[in-house]
Structure 1
Amino acid sequence: MQIGELVGAGRTADVFALDDGRVLRRYRGGDDVTGEVAVMAYLAERGFPVPAVWPGTAAGDLVMQRLSGMTMVEALVNGVITAERAGEMLTELLRRLHAIPARLSTDPGHRILHLDFHPENVVLTPQGPMVIDWATAAEGPPGLDSAMAALILAQAALTVPTVSVVARAVLSSLLRHLDGIEEEHLEEAKGRRATNPTLSPDEVGKLDEAVSLITETVGS
């Protein structure tokens, strides 16, 4: 496996090109990717749009199919997709995900949750949208995943000036298309975000305001 150029970087991992139409996602902390590989393989078998994935040679390495296309954020910024359609598409993907039975839990109400579901983690490929970055995946009530998606958009609207207007518009569309967000799920999502070590103090400090933005948007 010949590792090529750096093609992407996130909060916890770097992505390198490989010479066979694949990419290497390498976690800087060496996080074990066994669970992430298992979840993505399980979803792919059931028709959910995720990249093909293989374990790497080290615990923190994950080899994935290289996708072509813009992220949803890039498409929004470049006017390729409207905020209304982006919110609708995010809702459609969440519903498809939550229609799949949980992999491990025996609770009939549980589903696989992405828990970091936002436009940067959706790639608009020629074959359709693909969802990436399953490092935070867990199992639980689907409403928690929807609440987390809304909260991440609300935080972006409040803390990332370059996408603030777009994030607010996508959030508004998402909330219109969802079946609703329960207060208990929004509170749990806030608690999880508050303890997320990758967030900046400013992002954590805006959590209450982000929750208020969601409730105001739902009520408008």
Structure 2
Amino acid sequence: MEPHPGHGAETRPSVAVVDTGPLLASGRDADVFEYGPGRVLRRYRRGGDTAHEADVMRHVAAHGFPVPTVVAAGGPDLVLERLDGPTAWHALRDGLVEPESVGAQLADLHRRLHAVPARTSPTPGRVVVHLDLHPDNVLLTTRGPVVVDWRNADDGSADVDVALSALILAQVALDTRHPLAPSVRPCLTAFLERTGQPPASALTAAAAFRAADPAVTPDERARIDRATDLVAGS
């Protein structure tokens, strides 16, 4: 991706973290720690600047999109509202939700997000995009679904954002070792029924973005072409 405009120019409260509470969760890029009552600290292991991510989250929150409240941001650290509830992946794994409902919910979150105007440009066709919106980044809280992990978010094309989510689902569906693979196919179908088939150009751009993502494993990268074909043929 291109460098985010305004990186390093954050004037909101910053973080000066010395001690953290217990580790609550670990993802591909970040660890989440308990950080006082009702708060968590999200820390990126490879460093970086969370100012842009915090700005995007505040922008979409101001337009009514469900995200954790940002308390502070600085360097690789984000202090966020602590949320209750499982991820949509975990709820699907535990039989708490149906695959079709997860796909429908994911499509609805895209629709709502792409109604949020771009932060930096009034150019037609540019909206806020998440670029990593999949069921493991959706928490099913008592107030409804809340989207987390906004590191890739920016202004961009809604079609590419949809294509990326479809591609991620397809990669899981093709992974015979993944315990959720059988459930993800109907999830993908329900998602695409509601979003519509992404244009070929958007799917090509999404595949290139996915291939360049350093968080994607070699095994996942090897499935990108087959996943692209699966989405295109759905």
Pair in the same fold by TM > 0.5: yes
- Letter of the aligned partner of 1:47 in structure 2? G
Rounded Cα–Cα distance in structure 2 between residues aligned with 1:4 and 1:60 = 17
Residue from 20, 23, 31 that aligns with 2:48: 31
Residue from 152, 157, 160 that aligns with 1:144: 160
Is 1:102–2:118 an aligned residue pair? yes
2:13 aligned residue: none
Rounded Cα–Cα distance in structure 2 between residues aligned with 1:105 and 1:180 = 26
Is 1:177–2:194 an aligned residue pair? yes
Higher helix share: 1
Rounded Cα–Cα distance in structure 1 between residues aligned with 2:157 and 2:213 = 20
CA contact (8 A) 1:118 1:153 kept: yes
Rounded Cα–Cα distance in structure 1 between residues aligned with 2:125 and 2:218 = 34
- The count of aligned residue pairs is 216
2:144 aligned residue: 128
Pairwise CA RMSD: 1.2
Any gaps of 5 or more consecutive residues in structure 2? 1-16
TM-score (norm 1): 0.95
**Runs of 4 or more off by more than 2 Å in structure 1?**
none
1:206 aligned residue: 223
Q: C-alpha displacement at 1:141, in angstroms?
A: 1.5
Residue from 56, 63, 79 that aligns with 1:46: 63
Rounded Cα–Cα distance in structure 2 between residues aligned with 1:156 and 1:126 = 27
Partner of 2:22: helix, strand, or coil? strand
- Letter of the aligned partner of 2:114 in structure 1? H
- Letter of the aligned partner of 2:31 in structure 1? D
Residue from 140, 146, 156 that aligns with 2:172: 156
Partner of 2:180: helix, strand, or coil? helix
Rounded Cα–Cα distance in structure 2 between residues aligned with 1:26 and 1:126 = 25
Rounded Cα–Cα distance in structure 2 between residues aligned with 1:109 and 1:195 = 24
CA contact (8 A) 2:170 2:227 kept: yes
Residue-by-residue CA offset, 1:33-65 (whole Å, 9 max, x unaligned): 000000001111111000001334x40000110
Partner of 2:216: helix, strand, or coil? coil
Q: C-alpha displacement at 1:106, in angstroms?
A: 2.5
CA contact (8 A) 1:68 1:125 kept: yes
Any gaps of 5 or more consecutive residues in structure 1? none
Rounded Cα–Cα distance in structure 1 between residues aligned with 2:197 and 2:228 = 14
Residue from 33, 37, 44 that aligns with 1:20: 37
TM-score (norm 2): 0.89
Partner of 2:21: helix, strand, or coil? strand
1:89 aligned residue: 105
Rounded Cα–Cα distance in structure 2 between residues aligned with 1:69 and 1:41 = 22
